Amino acid sequence: MPDDRHSPRRRNWLHLIAAGGPVVGLVLVCLLFGILRFRTFVSIDNLAIVLEQTAVIGIAALGMTLVIIIGGIDLAVGSVIALGTVVVAVLLQHGWPPVAAAVGGIAASALCGAFSGLLITRLRLLPFVVTLGMMGMLRGAAKLISQEQPIYPDDTWLNLLMKIGAHGAPPIGVWLFLALAVLAAAVLRFTRFGRHVFAVGSSEQTARLCGVPVERVKLWVYVIGAASGGVAAVLQFAYLTGGDPTTASGYELNVIAAVVIGGASLSGGQGTIAGTVVGALIMSVVANGCTKLGLENAVQEIVTGAIIIAAVLLDYVRRRGI
């Protein structure tokens, strides 16, 4: 069926922006803040700060990209991060070595994902409802474990993960984010599992007909999504230098926003890691720029919300060609 996609009359500036996708958006917001606050916004130190602010949301968004590509959603990721920081802190307090504590935090998060995934695949419950329930349960569990108090264990090298280096060198956490992004992109593009993820998101029935183990793929995606929340939790722990059951509240929406700004479709089947990385950067550039402009939090929230809607709109223009 032919459609209006190629109609030349309808090409305009909107299409130019849309064709470039989220990268154009990132360049635009950087230019905007660069012009308005050249001295404070455009500096090596500030770049490092922006990247540092991106790392936690960004890593969680990598896993969320897979979850959204299969047509699912994970609302529990903010609570997973909070629980993760608490688990790491408690394990350190019990004298675990830093590596073991970090791995323990990530494993605990992955288990939470496995639980959600089992409910979704075995009992065929809706991901939205399951993860909404998990969001509350895990937040509560984090508070129980920590007795509703932040836990600050003795200083270890874990805290260095989010420390900005000399001359504004980005913290290790940022490099970890970029490395994981490359890994995730490669998995999606160059492995059978990656092809299966797109197939399940595009049409579950077709995937089943083609012999794709649909339930197993979904389960693994929820485990990966929560595990990436666990890695984000380790960085959040490093940033806070402690475990806090109330941290990362509302992060799930920022994470989902980063993925959606990056061009993924909430109906599944579409999304890219590169888009998600850029989406996460847009979110933190806007937050940082608004602070530099001295805008209050309320304005920041309005701007971020508007960007989410604009991103979806541009995506619509690109795909449908209104």
Partner 1 sequence: MSGITPPRLRLSGIARRFGATVALDGVDLTVNPGEVHALVGENGAGKSTLMRILSGALIADAGAMELDGRSYAPRSPQEARTAGIGMVNQELAIARHLSVAENIVLGAEPMRRGLLDAVEARRRAAAALNELGRPDIPLQAPAGRLSVAELQLVEIARAVALGCRIIVLDEPTSSLTRADGENLFRLVRRMRDRGTSIIYISHFLEEVQALTDRYTVLRDGVSVATGLTAGVNPGDLARLMVGRPVSDLYVRSARQPGDVVLAVRDVAGARRPVSASFDLRRGEVLGIAGLIGAGRSELLRTIFGLDAVRSGSVRLGVHAGPASPAVRWKQGAGFLSEDRKEEGLALDLSLADNLTLPRLGWRVHPRGLAIEAAGWLDRLGVRCSGPQQRVGELSGGNQQKIALARLLRNGADVLLLDEPTRGVDIGAKQNIYRLVDELAMAGKAVLMVSSYLPELLGTCDRIAVMCRGVLGPARPVSDWTEHAIMLAATGTAA
Which residue in the block uniquely carries the two structure tokens 């073991």? 100
Whichever of 54 and 265 has its CB closer to partner 1, that residue is: 265
Minimum Å distance from CB 192 to partner 1? Answer: 4
Whichever of 43 and 267 has its CB closer to partner 1, that residue is: 267
Stretch that binds partner 1, among 93-101, 146-154, 201-209, 239-247 (CB under 8 A): 201-209
Site for partner 1 in 1-40 (CB under 8 A): 1-8
Stretch that binds partner 1, among 20-28, 78-86, 144-152, 207-215 (CB under 8 A): 207-215
Candidate residues 269, 274, 291, 318; the one interacting with partner 1 per rule CB under 8 A: 269
Q: List the one residue out of 290, 304, 282, 281 whose CA is nearest residue 36.
A: 290
Candidate residues 124, 166, 205, 250; the one interacting with partner 1 per rule CB under 8 A: 205
Cα–Cα distance measured from residue 231 to residue 139, given in angstroms and rounded to the nearest whole number: 17
Q: Are 61 and 275 in contact (CB under 8 A)?
A: no
Candidate residues 39, 123, 154, 209; the one interacting with partner 1 per rule CB under 8 A: 209
The CA R_g of the chain, rounded to the nearest whole Å, is 20
Stretch that binds partner 1, among 24-32, 133-141, 174-182, 204-212 (CB under 8 A): 204-212
Residue 80 φ then ψ, to 5°: -60, -40
At 273, the amino acid letter reads I
# residues contacting partner 1 (CB under 8 A): 29
Minimum Å distance from CB 20 to partner 1? Answer: 20
**Helix/strand/coil for 243:** strand
192 burial via Cβ count (<10 Å: 0-12, 13-18, 19+): exposed
Candidate residues 39, 124, 167, 192; the one interacting with partner 1 per rule CB under 8 A: 192
Whichever of 156 and 203 has its CB closer to partner 1, that residue is: 203
Minimum Å distance from CB 188 to partner 1? Answer: 10
Mutual angle of helices 22-36 and 273-292, in 10-degree steps: 20
Cα–Cα distance measured from residue 85 to residue 145, given in angstroms and rounded to the nearest whole number: 11
Minimum Å distance from CB 7 to partner 1? Answer: 5
Q: List the one residue out of 130, 116, 126, 111 whose CA is nearest residue 71.
A: 126
The size of the chain, in residues, is 322
**Positions in the binding site for partner 1 (CB under 8 A):** 1-8, 189-192, 194-195, 198-199, 202-203, 205-213, 269-270
